[in-house]
Amino acid sequence: GAVVSQHPSRVICKSGTSVKIECRSLDFQATTMFWYRQFPKQSLMLMATSNEGSKATYEQGVEKDKFLINHASLTLSTLTVTSAHPEDSSFYICSARPGGQDEQYFGPGTRLTVT
């Protein structure tokens, strides 16, 4: 149980374009979803927290107009990187927290490369 999927697993896009990453909880309803970014050999950096039907809460230093988060349902959250630049290239990971639990369950991650 507690399976989280992400799509796509890898994406390459050109500078200036936008890319959308989907995060789904497959076998539970996620009260809260989180989006992280991870640089090579570093730990996870929280970008934002989202609750279904509410606006996302962004961490300090994260541009909300650049990283658009939509938590449309209890099983789906999306992250859209707008006007992507090479410095946005990174490993993006989502997690989902089932209602009534404290644990977060993570997706497999999405490798974004901006050329």
Partner 1 sequence: EDQVTQSPEALRLQEGESSSLNCSYTVSGLRGLFWYRQDPGKGPEFLFTLYSAGEEKEKERLKATLTKKESFLHITAPKPEDSATYLCAVQGESGTYKYIFGTGTRLKVLA
Residue 84 near partner 1 by CB under 8 A = no
Q: Applying CB under 8 A, does 50 fall inside the site for partner 1?
A: no
- The CB-of-16 to partner 1 minimum distance in angstroms stands at 27
6 binds partner 1 (CB under 8 A): yes
Q: Is the dihedral angle over the CA atoms 68, 82, 91, 21 positive or is it negative? A: positive
Closest by Cα among 4, 6, 14, 17 to 91: 6
| Size of interface with partner 1, in residues (CB under 8 A) | 25
- Single out the residue of 23, 26, 19, 25 nearest to residue 7, CA to CA: 23
Smallest gap from Cβ 64 to partner 1, in A, equals 17
Q: With CA atoms as reference, report the closest residue to 77 among 2, 3, 1, 6.
A: 6
> Cα Rg for the chain, rounded, in angstroms?
13
Q: Does 98 bind partner 1 (CB under 8 A)?
A: no
Contact footprint for partner 1 (CB under 8 A): 2, 4, 6, 32, 34, 41-44, 46, 49, 57, 91, 93, 95, 97, 102-109, 111
